[in-house]
Amino acid sequence: MNLFMTQSEWPSASLARFPDPSQILVRTAWKSPSNIALVKYWGKFEGQLPANPSLSITLSACYTETEVVCTESESGAMEVSFLLDGQPKPAFEDKLKTFCQSLLPQKPFLKGKHLWVRSRNTFPHSAGIASSASGMSAFCLALCTLENECTGALAKKEDFFSEASRLSRLASGSASRSVYGGFVLWGKHPLEEKSSDEEAFPVSWNIHPEFRGLNDWIVVCDRQEKAVSSRAGHGLMNGHPYAAERFRQAFQNIERMKMALVSGDWETFSFITEHEALSLHAMMMTSRPWFILMKPTTLALLDALKAFRANTGCRVTFTLDAGPNLHLLFPDSEKENVNDFLISKSGLNLRPEDIIQDKEGTGPERIL
């Protein structure tokens, strides 16, 4: 699909008619990647502020491309029209509109504007992979470009990305981390003076080469929509019997993770990464109502992975998002072993389309 919009490419199925090119005030497009958390964000306070700091790796192959065209709105009210893969998506259009309207008091340049938004994801929607981090960060980066073109307020690169991360956080917490490449920390932690609950920052740590360019192969264990939305999931941490201990554990795991990442300690890195993934799922299993998001395939794969690792000493570890799909993390030197494990030793008939081969990436890119 050619991302950039013309009048004839805007489908007639959409309620809104794409404007004449002469009416276009600003147009821009951004490509922004997904990220995978090593230390998980699960639980939040008013204002989309996290209950604990989280640490992620920004990916590269799983990304969203979003084009935003800005015109004056015919109705005079702030409007948003949205297409995903060329098709109208009314539910998501409403979400973007509500988000933009909530920004009006702090972003007066949006008043009376119509944003024509068109997105595509590199990963199939049906793969059960969350697109909110890449999708919302791509949109917020485009909003910052609009703001800068309209007001000149974000001319400095640092200000631009700081604001893009803050806005992305308001749209979807974990999206705040996708604005930067590499290892990214979101949430105030005494280890990083610059860290903040309001926006994410790339860590200043001297990451050991062992952990640079880490692979993240996502094994799609189930293609269904998530059984619990992240908004509901975060809400379930309110009054959760283990919440206070979980938040304390996450603070401590950031510290232990830093030590492992800097010293090249794979064992500790692997232990904390897995402990975080299973703690996230343990929180869901022990909430009221409870949720079990892992599927039989996830568990079979975990069993097989444990045995394979014990037999071979392969340096591969796993994490999970709020869903059933397994993320396998490993250095380049283990690529053949991991491939062999998945294809021949896992005991599951995995097809190439069940495995998304991703790795650490350098962050978003402006493409228009």
User: Which residues contribute to the site for ligand PMV (CB under 6 A)?
Assistant: 37, 40-42, 54, 132, 172-174, 230, 280, 321-322
- Select 265 or 321, whichever has its Cβ closest to ligand PMV: 321
- Select 131 or 337, whichever has its Cβ closest to ligand PMV: 131
| Residue-level length of the chain | 368
Query: CB of residue 325 vs ligand PMV: minimum separation in angstroms?
Result: 12
- Select 78 or 179, whichever has its Cβ closest to ligand PMV: 179
- Select 40 or 114, whichever has its Cβ closest to ligand PMV: 40
Please report, as a single letter, which amino acid is at residue 214: L
- Select 200 or 355, whichever has its Cβ closest to ligand PMV: 200
Looking from the CA of 58 toward its CB, the CA atoms found within 13 Å total 28
Cβ atoms of 268 and 259 within 8 Å: the answer is yes
DSSP 183-209: EEEES-BTTBTT--SSSEEE--S---G
Query: What is d(CA 336, CA 315) in angstroms, rounded to the nearest whole number?
Result: 12
If phi > 0 it is left, if psi is from -120 to 50 it is alpha, else beta; for residue 122 that is alpha
Query: CB of residue 135 vs ligand PMV: minimum separation in angstroms?
Result: 11
Query: What is d(CA 113, CA 71) in angstroms, rounded to the nearest whole number?
Result: 6
Query: What is d(CA 211, CA 264) in angstroms, rounded to the nearest whole number?
Result: 7
Q: Which two tokens stand for residue 63?
A: 């990304």
Query: CB of residue 38 vs ligand PMV: minimum separation in angstroms?
Result: 9
Q: Which residues pair with 117 in a beta bridge?
A: 68, 82
Query: What is d(CA 94, CA 290) in angstroms, rounded to the nearest whole number?
Result: 29
- Select 26 or 39, whichever has its Cβ closest to ligand PMV: 39
Query: CB of residue 212 vs ligand PMV: minimum separation in angstroms?
Result: 21
Query: CB of residue 243 vs ligand PMV: minimum separation in angstroms?
Result: 15
Query: What is d(CA 203, CA 180) in angstroms, rounded to the nearest whole number?
Result: 10
Query: CB of residue 132 vs ligand PMV: minimum separation in angstroms?
Result: 5
